[in-house]
Amino acid sequence: MTDSGFEPNDASTPPPPPPPVARKRRLHTGALAGTAVAVVLAAGIGLGHVAWSTGSPSVAASGASSSTSTGSGSTSTGSNSSSTGSGSTEVSSIAAKVDPGLVDIDTTLGYDEEEAAGTGIVLTSNGEILTNNHVIDGATSISVTDVGNGKTYSASVVGYDTTKDVAVLQLHDASGLQTTSLDTSSVSVGETVVGIGNAGGTGGTPSAAGGTVTALDQSITASDEGDGSSEQLSGLIETNADIQAGDSGGSLVNTAGQVVGMDTAASAGYSFQSTGESSGYAGYAIPIGEAITLAKEIEAGSSSSTVHIGTTAFLGVEIDAAADGFGNASSGATVAGVITGSPAQQAGLAAGDVITSVNGQSVADASALTGALEPDKPGETVTVGWTNASGATQTATVTLSSGPPQ
């Protein structure tokens, strides 16, 4: 993002790419799944998950129309400047109110041999952090730098909801942090907003870009061209503020410097499902009220079919997306590789095996394998059944270890 006043992007011009970064540095834009890896992670199972990346992802959006009447999926173009009751408001002055309550999040994706960067919002003075789940997905270590005091902390995952893309972190040995001011009331189409975050993953003073709310209650579906998988999020705020790589987990704020949404996704080219009309750049944010509601559930330890609390149980297998669910002769999750020293390796699983059951429950594909393991905790045992490359059926009792969040 750039400090360019409240001028929104030209609808015909995609946002500029993020600045060059080190090789194997993954920046979390929240631009849903634009780049695929050949082997994808079955959540909580192993390595190789799909990146949320820059580029031109295939994103279809639908939802409530805005004030401009161009069809059921119309959007507002916004304005070139912001005017409130007290006059013009500058992006930098609004951002200065919010910056001290944000953090830069840097993660190591050890099993992918990559690094990643994103943003977080400080919820409590002792270091409770709100961010996107995809910012910490696959992280084997998490380092967080508080913008307000400049100190860097290690962090642990309190919990996450993959379906809503919300996660809560806890910084270690943190105190006296400055928090953000939240506005959980509804925003309006045409309202001036500023998107703030760790654009480019460069750290330091967050970048900020002004724009307007162009639509509400938006649903987006982003497809991974590599394996056909997709992510769906709904109820989102749409904005023409220039949300870029590294901004995920950052704040979308109003002119009073209050957080109204958490920056989550961006697209350089998408179309509304309801009209098929092509549109220009758009950024998306989760309404802060919804994110806070989920954060409170996570804080309370209220696990569910979608909310995971604490550390993630780890089997340690790569799942072959090309074989899994695409013409595989045997129903199951096809193993592409096994992590050295993992429970899967100790049990005798190997590349080419097809996992067919967990605790007697049939496993049809990677998704089913994830679901079967979700209730389990590190240290618990499960019985895994599989068919090896020669067609022989095998079973083993496996003690799950602790792994990265999904």
User: Which amino acids are annotated catalytic?
Assistant: 134, 165, 248
User: Which residues, including other chains, have CB under 8 Å from residue 305's CB and lie 6 or more apart?
Assistant: 374
Measure the CA–CA gap between 256 and 367, rounded to whole angstroms: 43
Place of tokens 């999020």: 233
Q: Nearest 5 degrees, angle CA 161-CA 164-CA 170?
A: 45
Query: Could you please report the per-residue DSSP string of 300-342?
Result: TT---SSEEESSEEE--EEE-TTTTTTT-SSSSEEEEEE-TTS
Question: What tokens were used for 78?
Answer: 């916004």
Q: Interior CA angle at 370 toward 297 and 162, to 5°?
A: 35
Reduced 3-state DSSP string for 239-280: ECCCCCCCCCCCEEECCCCCEEEEEEEEECCEEECCCCCEEC
Question: Distance of CA 226 to CAs 229, 245, 270, 330, Å?
Answer: 8, 21, 18, 22
For residues 286 and 283, give the distance between their C-alpha atoms in angstroms, rounded to a whole number: 11
Is residue 382 a contact partner of residue 369, using CB atoms and an 8 Å limit?
Answer: no
Beta bridge partners of 84: 87
| Chain centroid, CA 276 distance in Å | 26
What does the alpha-carbon distance between residue 14 and residue 205 come to, in Å, rounded to a whole number?
24
**DSSP symbol at 4:** B
Are the CB atoms for 142 and 120 separated by under 8 Å? no
The Cα 219–Cα 311 span in angstroms is 30
| Cα-based torsion angle of the residue sequence 231, 299, 257, 214 in order, rounded to the nearest 10 degrees | 20
Residue 65 to residues 35, 181, 343, 348, Cα–Cα distance (Å)? 29, 28, 50, 54
Place of tokens 């820059």: 54
